[in-house]
Structure 1
């Protein structure tokens, strides 16, 4: 079994498509549709919150690289100032992030519109993080294999998103650090999951994601208490 510190062999092809099993596609549709219905009031409330505090547009739309290098439009609640320019990766303290956006990012709520991407088949529930096309093309060749797979709403990398974002703060070239240091770590974690991407492991990661979101306020309160001691 591949450990988190290992990467797939460099000979693994970077092109082509690894098809999603039918059982996982059924699980995607059932879970995404159920959550979109159940969370509809929360989605409406978040949309209103973004509109009131940050203006329009409420949704952030961006091309991302999907399964087999096919590009699709990803949807998120907008968490940055409209029209702000800068690196294609954002640190935890990025000044482009709005106050509301910072809260949404910390709780992972800005990602909820991607349930629509899952329902459409652009994404799956658990898989590699969807990447910006320009950064995807700049991945080291030995890590481009990840774009053969369908990206996920959550996954081992997404559960470390806060820690990864914090490591970008203060970097003179955050994109270079991201590609040189974080991408190899992320693809190693993706490989570990994809080697055992069963329906049960998908359910397990969904449970871990729910726990991650619920624990975030508690963890941040504990960090603040520790910082003030």
Structure 2
């Protein structure tokens, strides 16, 4: 959809321009808070199964990937002091607007997963979910706003994610793909902003 792509470019460029001072402050905070790079780049699976690197502000100690599970749980000890704040406010996701400008992602679309979880997608579901660009936000992001806290209450967080949370996210993703439109994207953006501003709403099916 050329209109969606045009919207993505205009929206992302505007956000990055308007939030440039905030991005600079966050970058300085990350740098001063703990040793390591400002940004964290992680391999994700994009449209048509193409791999790409997603940009985030670093919120964990260097080497955290090798020191624990791929998913973060509640007050994970690997998360930095700045990281706890950035994650709670979702500010660590802001660099992904650069991914949108590059064409790796869209503003709205199914959240991209790491290859190990994509390998678990049923074949028909994978064909649908990977037919569109992954997004910064979607209905699943709204539904599982406090995913880390939910996993922290599980005796086996990895199993809970794979067996309970991931299938639910894929249902939301398939619903989005089947009914996607610019108006739906705008609705999800508004609801995301409202949630981040402290007025969460219960996600509705598209």
Quote the Cα distance in structure 1 between the aligned partners of 2:81 and 2:106: 29
Quote the Cα distance in structure 1 between the aligned partners of 2:75 and 2:126: 28
Relative distance call for 1:123 and 1:192 in structure 2 (3 A) is same
Contact 1:87 1:174 in 2 (8 A): no
* Equivalent residue, structure 1, for 2:2: 22
The structure showing larger relative contact order (alpha-carbon pairs under 8 Å, at least 6 residues apart) is 1
* Equivalent residue, structure 2, for 1:138: 120
Quote the Cα distance in structure 2 between the aligned partners of 1:148 and 1:175: 26
Residue 95, structure 1, aligned to residue 77, structure 2: yes
Quote the Cα distance in structure 2 between the aligned partners of 1:115 and 1:148: 20
Relative distance call for 1:29 and 1:199 in structure 2 (3 A) is same
TM-score between the two structures when normalised by the length of structure 2: 0.89
Contact 1:77 1:113 in 2 (8 A): yes
Residue 65, structure 1, aligned to residue 48, structure 2: no
Alpha-carbon distance, 1:180 to partner: 1.1
Alpha-carbon distance, 1:99 to partner: 1.9
1:21-42, Cα deviation, whole Å (9 max, x unpaired): 1110000000001111111101
Alpha-carbon distance, 1:141 to partner: 4.2
Quote the Cα distance in structure 2 between the aligned partners of 1:161 and 1:188: 13
Alpha-carbon distance, 1:148 to partner: 2.6
1:108-129, Cα deviation, whole Å (9 max, x unpaired): 1000000000011100010111
* Equivalent residue, structure 1, for 2:17: 37
Count of residues in correspondence between the two structures: 197
Alpha-carbon distance, 1:194 to partner: 2.2
Quote the Cα distance in structure 2 between the aligned partners of 1:144 and 1:213: 29
Relative distance call for 1:127 and 1:101 in structure 2 (3 A) is same
The 5 Å alignment of 1:77-116 reads 77-84=57-64, 85-116=67-98
1:100-158, Cα deviation, whole Å (9 max, x unpaired): 11111111100000000001110001011110112211334454232232110111112
Alpha-carbon distance, 1:172 to partner: 4.5
* Equivalent residue, structure 2, for 1:177: 160
Quote the Cα distance in structure 2 between the aligned partners of 1:72 and 1:189: 22
Q: Any runs of at least 4 consecutive aligned residues in structure 1 with deviations exceeding 6 A, and if so which?
A: none
Alpha-carbon distance, 1:197 to partner: 1.2
Q: 1:149 aligns with which of 128, 132, 140?
A: 132
